[in-house]
Amino acid sequence: MTNNNTKTILTFSLAAVAVSLVAGSTIAYADFSGDYDPANWTLTTNGGDGSVDTFGAPGTIVLTGSDSNTEPGDNIDTDYTVEIDTQCSTTINFDWGYTSIDSPPYDSAFYLLGGTATFLTDNDGESGSESVLASPGDIFGFRVNTMDDYNGPGILELSNFSVSCQEIDIKPNSDPNSINLSNKGVIPVAILGSDTYDVTDVDFSSLNFEGATPKHQAGYIEDVNGDSYPDLVAHFPTQDVGLAAYATEGCLTWDDSLTSNSSCDSTRVFDPKNGFKPNP
């Protein structure tokens, strides 16, 4: 890689971190669109008459809890869920507003992640903004619960929904990312910083690229993609990297002061016996 930007050698430890920021480099999806279009979510009413109104999508959706009045005293969840479809650690952001004519705590709102319900409110007129860390394959969603199924439903309005992904770049400024596993050199991998992710928050000792740890005890801070945000570059011994011949992606894992992260980038791996796989 040739780059004239000034490089700064730094060592990292969690104890020295002064700034903690939520992971998220590139907005993968804004609003309820793409993989997060309402058509890809699942509404589960659990025997009640709860519903979801997607008329305002992609900007806004409204989840209404059950209020069937048929069996007062029933405890019923109305859930609206989707699978997180990314290849990296993910931040989900959303705004919410809640209304209900019923008295607390008979109706309430939650967000869902991996089978766990996190309480938002049971008070009419409350609103807020949330930022949630998730992993690839997690089931995320929203819930309106009723404890009595009577006297008016809880209504949860959701907006400004986005899913952002913490990106890496294998062999910055190289396309394709060709890797010869017989090479005795190193493979550079960058964690891309942004206005919402400070790479100095990374625990450098935790970096692992397909089974390999960094060759050096320190990384370079450098803007490798020209977006004016510092990125963290580490070098991994090629002979230690566990990529299979013809692998189409390589993945990096690491920790920061908030969470464990993973992210992948495309690769074109050289097989010493057969060369590069022909393009399809």
Find the range with the poorest average confidence among 68-82, 129-143, 145-159: 68-82
pLDDT for residue 156 is more than 80? yes
Q: What is the pLDDT of residues 124-145, one digit of tens each?
A: 999 999 988 888 889 999 999 9
Same domain, 48 and 127: yes
Same domain, 219 and 107: no
- In terms of residue numbers, what domain contains 228? 8-22+167-276
Higher pLDDT, 70 or 6: 70
CATH classification at residue 133: 2.60.120.200
Same domain, 141 and 194: no
Query: Of 137, 165, 193, at which residue does a domain stop?
Result: 165
Q: What is the pLDDT of residues 13-24, one digit of tens each?
A: 322 222 222 333
Helical H segments across 156-269, by residue range: none
Query: Of 148, 165, 182, at which residue does a domain stop?
Result: 165
The pLDDT value given to residue 135: 82
Tell me the torsion sign for CA atoms 125, 130, 136, 138: negative
User: Which of 82-86, 164-168, 186-190, 243-247 has the highest average model confidence (pLDDT)?
Assistant: 186-190
Same domain, 52 and 146: yes
Same domain, 249 and 122: no
- Residues 108 and 70 sit within 8 Å (Cβ to Cβ): no
Rounded Cα distance, 46 and 55, in Å:
23
Same domain, 74 and 154: yes
Domain assignment present for residue 186? The answer is yes
The pLDDT value given to residue 273: 67
Query: Of 140, 165, 190, at which residue does a domain stop?
Result: 165
The pLDDT value given to residue 277: 59
Find the range with the poorest average confidence among 85-99, 121-135, 210-224: 85-99
**Total structural domains within the chain:** 2
Same domain, 60 and 139: yes
Higher pLDDT, 119 or 271: 119
Sorting pLDDT into bands at 50, 70 and 90, what band is 71? low
Q: What is the mean pLDDT of the chain?
A: 85
Same domain, 88 and 30: yes
Same domain, 114 and 177: no
Sorting pLDDT into bands at 50, 70 and 90, what band is 276? low
Same domain, 136 and 187: no
pLDDT for residue 186 is more than 90? yes
Same domain, 240 and 127: no
The pLDDT value given to residue 85: 82
Contacts by residues 169-176 (CB-CB < 8 Å, ≥ 24 positions apart): 169/224, 169/225, 169/231, 169/265, 170/250, 170/265, 170/266, 170/267, 171/1, 172/1, 172/3, 172/224, 172/225, 172/231, 172/233, 173/1, 173/2, 173/3, 173/224, 174/1, 176/266, 176/267, 176/268
Domain assignment present for residue 2? The answer is no
